[in-house]
Amino acid sequence: MRSKRRLRRSWRERLVAKSIRLRAHVEAPASEDAGPKVATLTTKRSLAHRAAHFVARRSFFLHVVVDELDRAVAFFFREAFDGWTRREGIAVPDGTNPTSEVLAWAATQRQDLRPGFVTYLDVLTFSELGLLIVKRCYRHGVPLIGWDIPWQLCRLAGHVGRSVGGAFSVALMGTGKVVDGKWRDSDYCPRLRVTTRGSGSPAFIRWLAPRDEAAMPKGHRPRFVDLGNLVPSVVGGAVETPAQAAVLLGTDWPTP
């Protein structure tokens, strides 16, 4: 009996000693706050996952009206969530106010609103719209949707320069300023690279990285949904205007 007790005791002593040696190589518990920190880390991952899902449900629509020289008179924009309008408005040239004609045109671009959603139009300047597009569509990854997006965004250009391979770059209004007669880009805003495809074909477009790396998007890739490219692929033929596309697809198109 004594020998068995001694064996049990020695086995326990060895186990305890082994445990002590193992603990010597394990970091000590941080503090009583370790529990909340773990919970916070888990919450952050969950929020990041939900944020990515949230962005996928959002969209930014853009539409421009031009004069006889293809100069922008006003832009209409809409921010949607799950297909329902959350914010919409018009943008007019810096230093001006929207005319009654522009407001009437913007009213024709609106869709039926779900009860409780936005019922008014925000009024922005072209510079404010340029910054909003960078914030939503570049930094947050909300898809920018429009008909012939490169052509539209070139109407919002504050500066146009050359790019590699025969393309050209566009700095949107509000993403830089003129200093001593020369345009200076913001370190925190990207330019757009536009590559033409010949007369009558929508151009290709993509964002160029800003100089400040911290201002680059994290965890997503900015996206364009160009209906001028998409609709002809769906209907299997040339489509020149949004109104023509609406007829072919059997949807309503607002008219002034």
Model-level pTM greater than 0.95? no
DSSP 16-51: HHHHHHHHTTSPPP--TTHHHHHHHHHHHHHHHHHH
Contact yes or no for 205/197 (Cβ under 8 A):
no
Maximum CA extent, the chain: 108
pLDDT at 228: 83
pLDDT digits (tens, 9 = 90+) for 115-129: 555 567 889 999 999
Hey, what are 147's tokens? 């008909």
Residue 133 banded pLDDT, cuts 50, 70, 90 = very high
Q: What backbone torsions phi and psi does residue 5 show, to the nearest 5 degrees?
A: -65, -40
Contact yes or no for 186/130 (Cβ under 8 A):
no
**Is 39's pLDDT higher than 60?**
no
pLDDT at 95: 92
Beta strands in 52-92 (DSSP E): 58-66, 72-81, 84-92
Q: What is the dihedral of CA 156, 159, 164, 166, to 10 degrees?
A: 70
**Is 2's pLDDT higher than 80?**
no
Percent of the chain with pLDDT strictly greater than 70 = 71
Contact yes or no for 36/30 (Cβ under 8 A):
no
Hey, what are 16's tokens? 């305890």
Coil, strand or helix at 13 = helix
pLDDT at 117: 55
Contact yes or no for 36/53 (Cβ under 8 A):
no
Report the run of H or E that residue 205 belongs to, with start and end: strand 204-207
Contact yes or no for 179/202 (Cβ under 8 A):
no
pLDDT at 102: 86
